[in-house]
């Protein structure tokens, strides 16, 4: 079977502090897509990493009175460990200060842009935000401050290498308007188009080694450091072996079916304008698509390392004993392309009320009745409107992935679970199970067994479809549900789904209530 190659990445966060729940949103979104694409039968390469070389990392290390390398290593390790704890299924983790392939990749990209005549020297003076790692024009400021961080900017005067960004604006505009390069959601696409139509200015792509404290990727044959965004964006090629493993790079970037980046709205300009321009200059294809998510907020304020309102995802995982509580909240209760507020109370309500109260409770009741009435074995499945509705659910979830509306996909799943609960209550199979313990004629007994068996079989089928649809969202819980239903976790969505005669297990509550000390 032909399996198109798909490459998907998260952005790489600065490691000036420990990770917070805002970056967890990006991790679980990208992971859901990677798992979804694998279940569609695609060959997927999924990459994460850390941006180790930013000036803000250097400043934070100095503030902590630690060597930069030690400070960066400690925080980068926490980001990598967070991915493991969230069950992120990445194939590669690129650290830009330690991956031996990265310097070769950045230099290869630099030389390719230079060969195209897109690098030149220029003296420059401007206002710089260390938090954004970019220069701002006065017109872009809000009350004289950075529009992203609300802080005063530094006046920097240097002679740097510049990249001819202006040369590539028309081509990027054409790629977006033609649909060859997609940006979702639509309002983020429109923001990028507005910037392109306004016209682009060339950008500085080097910094003095003195200002960077010597930290970062050196300019080839020079005494400066490469601008962190040029360095950081190149990481997407580092993990594919650009400059070191051309076969892998050719497979996933040149010949691959899709090249997808999942990024936050604060860095969409870098990914939707700077990055494709650099690639075009180097003679390489641009990304095929960029999915832009919003910010996680607390009381309406953006979560940020410097804002002091970060929420530790590790503590949430510890509290619930599984990453799926946090994964569910971020994927269901924060709209994929918009900002969303985080609340511990709403997280608990989602866990106990939706996961436990709706899905977990239904599974527990169905499997308990199967155990007591049929020894755990599923009776023959009969066609019904409910079975047909269940069969339509995967298509709805796939459509939500296509539309970059993961929250809608989970809402569709739980709308079906809600209907399953209502149908289960209407049919009241526990009454039939109780009747079987009494005196019935042979005809009454058979009719009762048939009615009870049909009810339980269709519920098992519905739960099995739900388990399959939940695999990209809640891989751990979905796997446990498969196990309790007595069916194998499929490699692809289209694998045969048979529940007749399967032996189920009624042990272990799926989403147990938390015991809060």
Cα gap 406→488, rounded to integer Å: 25
Query: Residue 50: pLDDT band by 50, 70, 90 thresholds?
Result: very high
327 lies in some domain: no
Q: Which of 107, 103, 146 is nearest to 127 (CA)?
A: 146
Query: Residue 221: pLDDT band by 50, 70, 90 thresholds?
Result: confident
| Whole-number pLDDT of residue 516 | 54
Cα gap 198→185, rounded to integer Å: 21
Q: If you average pLDDT over every residue of the chain, what do you get?
A: 92
Give the domain CATH number at 477: 1.10.730.10
pLDDT tens, residue by residue, 500-512: 999 999 886 788 8
Query: Residue 1: pLDDT band by 50, 70, 90 thresholds?
Result: very low
pTM of the predicted structure, to 2 decimals: 0.92
Contacts of 388 (CB under 8 A, 6+ apart): none
Sign of CA dihedral 161, 167, 170, 176: negative
The residue count of the chain comes to: 517
Sign of CA dihedral 118, 119, 125, 131: positive
* CB atoms inside a 10 Å sphere around CB 494: 11
| Whole-number pLDDT of residue 2 | 56
| Whole-number pLDDT of residue 517 | 44
Q: 267 and 355 share a domain? A: no
87 lies in some domain: yes
Tokens of 377: 């074995």
499 lies in some domain: no
Q: 283 and 355 share a domain? A: no
pLDDT tens, residue by residue, 266-285: 999 999 999 999 999 999 99
Contacts of 133 (CB under 8 A, 6+ apart): 54, 55, 56, 227, 228, 229
Query: Residue 214: pLDDT band by 50, 70, 90 thresholds?
Result: confident
| Whole-number pLDDT of residue 117 | 97
pLDDT tens, residue by residue, 115-134: 999 999 988 877 776 656 66
| Whole-number pLDDT of residue 154 | 74
pLDDT tens, residue by residue, 159-178: 889 999 999 999 999 999 99
Q: 273 and 388 share a domain? A: no
pLDDT tens, residue by residue, 54-76: 888 888 899 899 999 999 999 99
Of 345 and 128, the one with more pLDDT? 345
Q: 290 and 191 share a domain? A: yes
The listed range with the strongest mean pLDDT (66-70, 136-140, 214-218) is 66-70
| Whole-number pLDDT of residue 498 | 96
* CB atoms inside a 10 Å sphere around CB 324: 26
Contact 140, 132 (CB under 8 A): no
Q: 299 and 347 share a domain? A: no
Domain count along the chain: 2
- Is 8 a residue whose pLDDT tops 70? yes
Strands 119-129 and 203-204: unpaired
Cα gap 505→463, rounded to integer Å: 13
Query: Residue 399: pLDDT band by 50, 70, 90 thresholds?
Result: very high
- Is 306 a residue whose pLDDT tops 60? no
262 lies in some domain: yes
515 lies in some domain: no
Cα gap 71→58, rounded to integer Å: 9
Contact 424, 462 (CB under 8 A): no
| Whole-number pLDDT of residue 509 | 74
Q: 298 and 356 share a domain? A: no
Residue 363 domain boundaries? 343-485
| Whole-number pLDDT of residue 307 | 56
Lowest mean pLDDT among 202-211, 330-339, 451-460: 202-211
Q: Which residue in this structure is represented by tokens 């798909």?
A: 6
Give the domain CATH number at 285: 3.40.50.620
Query: Residue 191: pLDDT band by 50, 70, 90 thresholds?
Result: very high
Of 38 and 143, the one with more pLDDT? 38
411 lies in some domain: yes
Residues forming beta bridges with residue 183, ordered by sequence position: 290
82 lies in some domain: yes
Cα gap 472→452, rounded to integer Å: 32
494 lies in some domain: no
């Amino acid at each position: 079977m032909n399996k198109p190659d798909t490459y998907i990445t998260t952005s790489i966060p600065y490691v000036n502090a420990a990770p917070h729940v805002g970056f967890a949103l990006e991790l679980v979104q990208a992971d859901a897509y990677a798992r979804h694409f694998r279940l569609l039968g695609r060959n997927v390469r999924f990459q994460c990493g850390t941006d180790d070389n930013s000036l803000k990392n250097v400043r934070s290390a100095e503030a902590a009175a630690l060597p930069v390398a030690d400070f960066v290593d400690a925080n980068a390790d926490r980001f990598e460990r967070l991915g493991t704890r969230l069950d992120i299924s990445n194939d590669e983790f690129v650290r830009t200060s330690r991956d031996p392939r990265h310097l070769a990749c950045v230099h290869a990209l630099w030389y390719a842009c230079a060969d195209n005549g897109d690098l030149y020297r220029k003296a420059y003076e401007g206002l710089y935000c260390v938090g954004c790692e970019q220069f701002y024009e006065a017109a872009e400021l809000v009350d004289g401050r950075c529009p992203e961080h609300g802080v005063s900017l530094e006046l920097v005067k240097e002679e740097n290498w510049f990249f001819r960004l202006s040369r590539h604006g028309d081509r990027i505009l054409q790629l977006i308007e033609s649909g060859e390069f997609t940006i979702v959601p639509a309002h983020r696409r429109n923001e990028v188009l507005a910037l392109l139509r306004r016209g682009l200015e060339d950008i500085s792509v080097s910094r003095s080694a003195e200002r960077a404290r010597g930290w970062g990727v050196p300019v080839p044959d020079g005494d400066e450091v490469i601008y962190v965004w040029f360095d950081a964006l190149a990481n997407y090629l580092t993990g594919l072996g650009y400059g070191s493993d051309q076969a892998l790079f050719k497979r996933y970037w040149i010949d691959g079916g899709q090249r997808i980046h999942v990024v936050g709205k604060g860095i969409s300009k870098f990914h939707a304008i700077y990055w494709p321009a650099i690639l075009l200059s180097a003679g390489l294809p641009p990304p095929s698509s960029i999915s832009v998510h919003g910010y996680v907020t607390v009381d309406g304020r953006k979560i940020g390392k410097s804002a002091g309102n970060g929420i530790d995802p590790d503590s949430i995982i510890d509290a619930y004993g599984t990453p799926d509580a946090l994964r569910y909240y971020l994927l269901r209760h924060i709209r994929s392309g918009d900002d969303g507020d985080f609340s511990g109370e709403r997280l608990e309500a989602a866990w106990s009320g939706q996961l436990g109260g709706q899905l977990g409770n239904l599974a527990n009741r169905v499997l308990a009745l199967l155990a007591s009435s049929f020894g755990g074995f599923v009776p023959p499945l009969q066609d019904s409107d409910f079975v047909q509705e269940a069969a339509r659910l995967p298509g709805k979830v796939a459509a939500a992935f296509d539309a970059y509306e993961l929250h809608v996909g989970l809402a569709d799943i739980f709308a079906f679970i809600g209907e399953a609960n209502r149908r289960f209550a209407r049919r009241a199979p526990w009454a039939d199970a109780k009747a079987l313990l009494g005196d019935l004629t042979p005809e009454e007994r058979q009719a009762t067994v048939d009615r009870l068996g049909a009810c339980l079989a269709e519920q098992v089928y519905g739960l099995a479809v739900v388990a399959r649809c939940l695999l990209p969202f809640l891989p751990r819980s979905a796997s446990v549900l498969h196990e309790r239903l007595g069916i194998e976790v499929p490699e692809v969505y289209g694998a045969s789904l048979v529940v007749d005669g399967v032996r189920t297990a009624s042990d272990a509550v799926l989403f147990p209530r938390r015991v809060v000390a």
